[in-house]
Structure 1
Amino acid sequence: MTVRGIRGATTVQQDEEQAVLQSTEALVQEMAEANKIAPSDIISVMISTTVDVKSTFPAKAVRSIEGWKYVPVMCFHEMDVPGGLPLCIRVLMHANSDTPQSDVEHVYQNEAVKLRPDLQK
Structure 2
Amino acid sequence: MIRGVRGATTVTQNDENEIVNSTEELIMELIEQNAIEAANVASVFISVTADINAEFPAKALRRFSSWKYVPVMCMKEINVKGSLPLCIRVMIHVNTDKAQQDIIHIYLKDAVTLRPDLIKE
Q: Could you tell me the TM-score, scaled by structure 1's length?
A: 0.97
1:61 maps onto 2:60 in alignment = yes
Q: Deviations over 1:57-103 (max 9, x none)?
A: 11111122231111100000000011000000000100011110011
Which residue does 1:41 correspond to in 2? 40
Letter in 2 for 1:97: T
Which residue does 1:86 correspond to in 2? 85
Contact 1:11 1:110 in 2 (8 A): yes
1:97 maps onto 2:71 in alignment = no
Secondary structure of residue in 1 paired with 2:67: coil
After superposing on structure 2, the runs of 4+ consecutive aligned residues of structure 1 that deviate more than 3 Å are none
State how far apart, in whole Å, the 2-side matches of 1:92 and 1:80 are: 18
Contact 1:63 1:70 in 2 (8 A): no
Contact 1:8 1:107 in 2 (8 A): yes
- In structure 1, list runs of 5 or more residues that go unmatched: none
Secondary structure of residue in 2 paired with 1:76: strand
Deviation at 1:11, TM superposition (A): 0.1
Contact 1:16 1:55 in 2 (8 A): yes
Q: Deviations over 1:15-64 (max 9, x none)?
A: 10000000001111111110111111111000000000000011111122
Deviation at 1:14, TM superposition (A): 0.4
Which residue does 1:26 correspond to in 2? 25
Q: Could you tell me the TM-score, scaled by structure 2's length?
A: 0.97
Percent identity, aligned pairs only, is 52
State how far apart, in whole Å, the 2-side matches of 1:74 and 1:102 are: 26
Structure having the higher helix fraction is: 2
1:120 maps onto 2:108 in alignment = no
- In structure 2, list runs of 5 or more residues that go unmatched: none
Which residue does 2:69 correspond to in 1? 70
Deviation at 1:105, TM superposition (A): 0.2
Letter in 1 for 2:118: L
